[in-house]
Amino acid sequence: MGKLIYLDNAATTKTSPTVLEAMLPYFSENYGNASSIYSIGAKSKEAISQGRAAIAKVLGAAENEIYFTAGGSESDNWALKATAEAYANKGKHIITSKIEHHAILHTCEYLEKQRGYEVSYIDVDENGVIKLDELKKAIRPDTILISVMFANNEIGTIQPIKEIGEIAHEHGILFHTDAVQAFGQVPINVDELHIDMLSSSAHKINGPKGIGFLYIRKGVKIRSFIHGGAQERKRRAGTENVPGIVGYGKAAEEAAATMQERTAKEAQLRDYLIDRILKEIPYTRLNGDRTRRLPNNANFSFQFIEGESLLIMLDMEGICGSSGSACTSGSLDPSHVLLAIGLPHEIAHGSLRLTLGADTTKEDLDFTIEKIKGIVERLRGMSPLYEDFIKKSGKN
């Protein structure tokens, strides 16, 4: 196998050398517990403050509105469960969309089955954009929370977050967004977008795994998620992951500093990839909005093939891709996102998500495209469905 071509940056990214360098001293030199009063503990406490400040700056938030967690899934769970608990006296109704990450959907399912909450799941259009009219109609006097992801992790569609935030606030409802895929990829200002809570995870932006944050707007009265010590201003107990926080702060700084140039390059390469795939491989469709999408995301469905076979054969060529969310890659069921945008099961099964990174080159994509063309042709050649289709269409 030759060069590894990594095109699954929506699943995770490589930790950047500068992030790793910033983290290393907090493993072996400045290893003190930030809750201790001696000097190496104070160094850890200061490092946490600096990481918090760096992240807050990217969001246009106050430092004391950033709470560190173990990642996006914990942040999503905290936002939903703690809000449900804190605002139960107002109502037990939550609104979300049908294409959320499973960290949201499964938490909503838990609240429904175990805590007696009602959840409205809003439809999306064929491009994965939430239907705002349906969202407005779903609002009730007892609605306490709207949770809609900033950008979809599978098809890359960016939601009308500002409009959703305005709708929520017009009705006195809290608004949470899962921004795990969007933070560091698109500009986000929590005040301008009317966001009350926001989830993120470092490993999506060349930071370390196992560290995330939940932005909680000042005045939002959600409760502690982990009880114990007084860390994170008594809202999230547990000894802080100092190296992770340092790494996240550095990754956030780098992402913000390079965002404009980096994402412009990614979007240009993304469009090149999309144009060639759609032009050169028949019976292929792009999933997600053509322009209102993350700069590094391309998601395709190839008729008459299985996505799993395509992934295995790409891996044999040194190419890493995905059929959708990394969290459900072991499932045989088609993507709930692709079903929600109207794809039939047989087409949803033939999906491929390619997500670019800062190191992706045009040469990488040219090699990948040629390999995809050959593999799709080979798989279709073994497909009775494709053979029947060709015969019926008179193209053989």
Give residue 279's pLDDT.
98
DSSP secondary structure string for all residues of 271-297 = HHHHHHHHHHSSSEEE-S-SSSB-TTE
Give residue 223's pLDDT.
87
Burial of 128: CB neighbours in 10 Å, binned 0-12, 13-18, 19+: buried
In 137-188, DSSP assigns E strands to: 143-147, 174-178
Give residue 395's pLDDT.
62
Pairing of strands 351-355, 297-302: antiparallel
Give residue 2's pLDDT.
73
Other Cβ atoms within 10 Å of 377 Cβ, number: 12
Sign of CA dihedral 226, 230, 232, 235: positive
Mapped onto helix, strand or coil, the DSSP state of residue 358 is coil
**Spatial separation of the C-alpha atoms in residues 293 and 124, rounded to whole Å:** 14
- Rounded to 10°, the helix 72-86/102-115 angle is 30
Kindly list the catalytic residues: 327
Give residue 18's pLDDT.
98
User: Which region, left, alpha or beta, applies to residue 194 given φ > 0 means left and ψ of -120 to 50 means alpha?
Assistant: left
Classify residue 226 by its DSSP letter. Answer: B
Give residue 391's pLDDT.
87
- With beta carbons less than 8 A apart as the criterion, state whether 198 and 220 touch: no
Mean pLDDT by 10 residues, the chain (396 residues): 90 98 96 92 96 98 98 98 96 98 98 97 98 98 98 98 98 98 98 98 98 97 90 93 98 98 98 98 97 98 95 97 64 86 94 97 98 97 90 73
- In terms of Cα–Cα distance, which of 261, 347, 270 is closest to 304? 347
Mapped onto helix, strand or coil, the DSSP state of residue 269 is helix
| Number of residues written out for the chain | 396
Pairing of strands 174-178, 197-201: parallel
The whole-model pTM stands at 0.95
Give residue 216's pLDDT.
98
Pairing of strands 212-216, 66-69: antiparallel
Strand order in the sheet with 284-286: 284-286, 297-302, 351-355
**Spatial separation of the C-alpha atoms in residues 345 and 143, rounded to whole Å:** 33
- In terms of Cα–Cα distance, which of 239, 196, 233 is closest to 215? 196
Q: List Cβ neighbours of 219 (8 Å cut-off, separation of 6 or more).
A: none
Phi, psi of 178 (to 5 degrees): -80, 105
Distances (CA, A) of 318 to 295, 297, 303, 313: 23, 19, 23, 9
DSSP secondary structure string for all residues of 80-126 = HHHHHHHTTTT--EEEEETT--HHHHHHHHHHHHHH--EEEEE-B-T
